[in-house]
Amino acid sequence: MRGRIELTGMRFIAHHGCLESERLEGNEFKVDFSCEWDTAAAELTDELDDTLDYSHVYAVIAREMAVPSRLLEHVAGRIADALREEIPGLEHFEVSIYKKNPPVGGECEWAKVSTVR
């Protein structure tokens, strides 16, 4: 039985961006994670060992968000690669990163980049 597990609205202050000021001052970022996961065993046993450990997903994302990058695409790719490497059975998932008030020369609340594996 496949289910969907999501972590949404994870917030970080990070130092991603092409401008030097972005990397020095930092900015607010949000990250969403969504995956398909076999939930059958957990539905029966009520045991954490039988499902995806959200805290492990969060820890991987937080670690990668702490590494400055110029492009959100690069951050999203690093997060996706690390999740796939560290979480056995994680196959179909999406990571979205939102950057608050990106420097686009006009009003823009968030820039968003997503990667799907």
Average pLDDT over residues 54-77: 98
**Domain ranges (residues) in the chain:** 2-116
> Per the residue annotation, which of 30, 99, 100, 112 is the catalytic one?
99
pTM of the entire predicted model: 0.94
Q: Helices 54-65 and 72-86: crossing angle, nearest 10°?
A: 140
pLDDT tens, position by position, 4-34: 999 999 999 999 999 999 999 999 999 999 9
Q: Which residue has the tokens 């400055």?
A: 68
Question: Which class does domain 2-116 fall in?
Answer: alpha beta
At residue 2, the pLDDT reads 87
Can 112 be counted among the known catalytic residues?
no
| Amino acid residing at 52 | L
DSSP 26-38: -EEEEEEEEEEEE
